[in-house]
Amino acid sequence: MSTRELKQDHVVVRRVRDIAQRCSDKLYAGESIPLEDIEIISVVIEEFIDAFHHGKEEKAYFPSTEVKNDTYAKEVRKFRIEHEFGRRVAGMMRRHLKEWRRGIDSREPVARFLKTYAIYVTDHTGKEDRFFDMIEEMKSLSDEEDRELLKRYEICRKDVGGDARVEELLRLIIYLEERDWMK
């Protein structure tokens, strides 16, 4: 169940990827996107993907799986490095977005980093899903370990503001999906 929850998160993460990609495409095409919408994308990346989802992986799931065998430990190390890459890309996008907000035309770097983030999500979630499938197929987690992971996920949820904040972030994703520029 704990592994399935992470895979379900990936469905949401890919929705954010689609938003980031569409926004990038529109910016490159010279179309106007409200800066507030791009800021919302940044918040969703920072809070839902990085703090909440990657938090569950880094604080709970990875420590429980990497001790199982060397192959798992090597995969987990790669995933942590990729998470840091994603943080850096999101941070660079955020920095250029702030410049744009201050009046410096940063359309191109914002578009570039949104596109890079979308590519990263596609590659990264695909690799993690294959890893999660392997964990499930090998039955690497006991029922007790699985229950403990779900409890630790709840701590991660509280760390980002609890159910109310996670639900608000999900509503922000829907809001972005329904924007005219997404159609």
- For 8-46, the pLDDT digits (tens) are 999 999 999 999 999 999 999 999 999 999 999 999 999
Is there a contact between 129 and 14 (Cβ–Cβ < 8 Å)?
A: no
- Predicted pLDDT at 78: 98
pTM: 0.96
Distance CA 18, CA 103 (A): 27
The total number of structural domains in the chain stands at: 1
Nearest in space to 64 (alpha carbons), one of 147, 173, 177: 147
- Predicted pLDDT at 17: 98
pLDDT one-digit tens code per residue, 82-119 = 999 999 999 999 999 999 999 999 999 999 999 999 99
Q: Tell me, what CATH number does 103's domain have?
A: 1.20.120
> What sign results for the dihedral spanned by CA atoms 101, 40, 163, 141?
negative
SS3 for 163? helix
Distance CA 56, CA 60 (A): 5
pLDDT one-digit tens code per residue, 127-148 = 999 999 999 999 999 999 999 9
SS3 for 27? helix
- Predicted pLDDT at 18: 98
Split at pLDDT 50, 70, 90, the class of 56 is very high
- Residues of the domain holding 126: 2-182
